[in-house]
A and B are shown apart, each in its own frame.
Chain A
Amino acid sequence: MWIQILLVVAVIVIGLFLARPTGGDSHLAIRRLFMFAFVIVAIVSILFPQWLSYIANLIGVGRGADLLLYALVLAFLISVATTYRRNVQLNRRITHLAREITLARAEAEDALRRAAALDSARVERASGVEAPGRDDAADQVG
């Protein structure tokens, strides 16, 4: 039956699409084309309800309602796939942001500690106490 071939091929295509390396813009374009087709089909099937049943009979499905269900399942799969990918990309961005924050904070803390170590070395030297060498002071930072 035609419908089985169509469905299996569609599911495989969605699976491959999911494992494909990311192409940001083409991704978005496919999403939009898909939405456009969805709107057209929705309008047509509202204006000509018998059209769905006709297509369904043509490819070996009993009723138009069944065809609608199959289409819905595919649409859901595509939606899951694209949402997952968007999530992965979003997470990657969050990671970069968080890492920048972490490293910036670490850099600020290191600078503060270095300054404090130098300060205390200077104070000790000024007060005549045997001051630790600069190297030792810097070691405390790492």
Chain B
Amino acid sequence: MRAQPILFCKNGLMDSSAQVDPRRHSRDTWIVIPLYNEESVIGRVVAELREHFDHIVCIDDGSTDGSIAAAEAAGARVLRHPVNLGQGAALQTGFEYVRTQPDAGYIVTFDADGQHRIEDAMLMLDLAKRDDVAIVFGSRFLDDRTNPGWVKRVVLKTAVWVTNRTTGLQLTDAHNGLRVIRADAASRITLEQDRMAHATEIVLKLGRTGLPWREFPVELLYTDYSKSKGQSVLNSVNILVDLLVK
């Protein structure tokens, strides 16, 4: 299983955890990936996740390309929305599906475009289990590995400010798709923001559960692909309106 090199391994972080079992979280962890038209990358993302985890659930949000086939071929369980609903809706569907799985202990939300590092997810799971915290948020601003560029930095920092003001939590990053959520925490929230505003909503609702949470430094791999897929600055206007008008 370990013979194949892990593509995202850049900083040699895997070396430190190489002594421990790379599949230590495989049994009780469900990876939840909202999937929408990511045909070219989803296969690789799922295949690499499969080296560490047994349970990978992709929620296809009405893709019009070959995303479903690519994800299934790589070994993911693919649930299909009949129509496009949005990333928040896909996450909520994933949470509700995992709720029906008796062995599910933890959920990891992961982006389909390959900008998250699996090693970060593994370390976040280690932290969640060691310190018994219910929620671990990934943050790209806890160290200087990630350089999003100044426009994106300003937009993201504004989003962080808005999120902290509305949620009462003190996070350093918002709209980071990598999160570890214990199953009981996930079952206590219902996301109603179908589109991108869910990223603020999820912090708000998890915060309200009063369960212990942490932030964990992660690196985001801004590849040309993920940049081209990334949210435009204008979309932050949509997020604000979605949050204000219900």
Verify A102–B80 contact, CB threshold 8 A.
Answer: yes
Interface of A is mostly: helix
Contact mask for chain A residues 74-110; partner B; CB cutoff 8 A; 1 contact, 0 none: 0000000000110010011011001101110111000
Verify A19–B83 contact, CB threshold 8 A.
Answer: no
Which of B93, B100, B101 interacts with A99 by CB under 8 Å?
B93
- Interface status of B151 (Cβ within 8 A of chain A): no
- Smallest CB-CB separation from A18: which chain B residue? B245
With an 8 Å Cβ cutoff, the count of chain A residues facing the other chain is 21
Verify B96–A22 contact, CB threshold 8 A.
Answer: no
- Interface status of B182 (Cβ within 8 A of chain A): no
Interface residues of A in 107-132 (CB under 8 A from B): 107
Q: Which residues of B contact A107 (CB under 8 A)?
A: 100
- Interface status of B230 (Cβ within 8 A of chain A): no
Q: How far, in Å, is A85 (CB) from chain B's closest CB?
A: 7
> How far is A68 from B232 in the complex, measured between Cα atoms in Å?
41
Verify B77–A103 contact, CB threshold 8 A.
Answer: no
Q: How far, in Å, is B34 (CB) from chain A's closest CB?
A: 12
> How far is A98 from B245 in the complex, measured between Cα atoms in Å?
23
Verify A85–B245 contact, CB threshold 8 A.
Answer: yes
- Interface status of B206 (Cβ within 8 A of chain A): no
> How far is A92 from B194 in the complex, measured between Cα atoms in Å?
8
- Interface status of B54 (Cβ within 8 A of chain A): yes
- Interface status of A21 (Cβ within 8 A of chain B): yes
- Interface status of B47 (Cβ within 8 A of chain A): no
Verify A102–B82 contact, CB threshold 8 A.
Answer: yes
- Chain A interfacial positions (CB closer than 8 Å to B): 18-19, 21-22, 84-85, 88, 91-92, 94-95, 98-99, 101-103, 105-107, 139, 142
- Chain B interfacial positions (CB closer than 8 Å to A): 54-55, 59, 77, 79-83, 85, 89, 92-93, 96-97, 100-101, 103, 192, 194, 244-246
Q: List 17 A-B contacts (CB under 8 A).
A: A19-B244, A85-B245, A88-B245, A92-B192, A95-B89, A98-B83, A98-B85, A98-B89, A99-B92, A99-B93, A102-B79, A102-B80, A103-B79, A105-B79, A105-B80, A106-B77, A142-B55
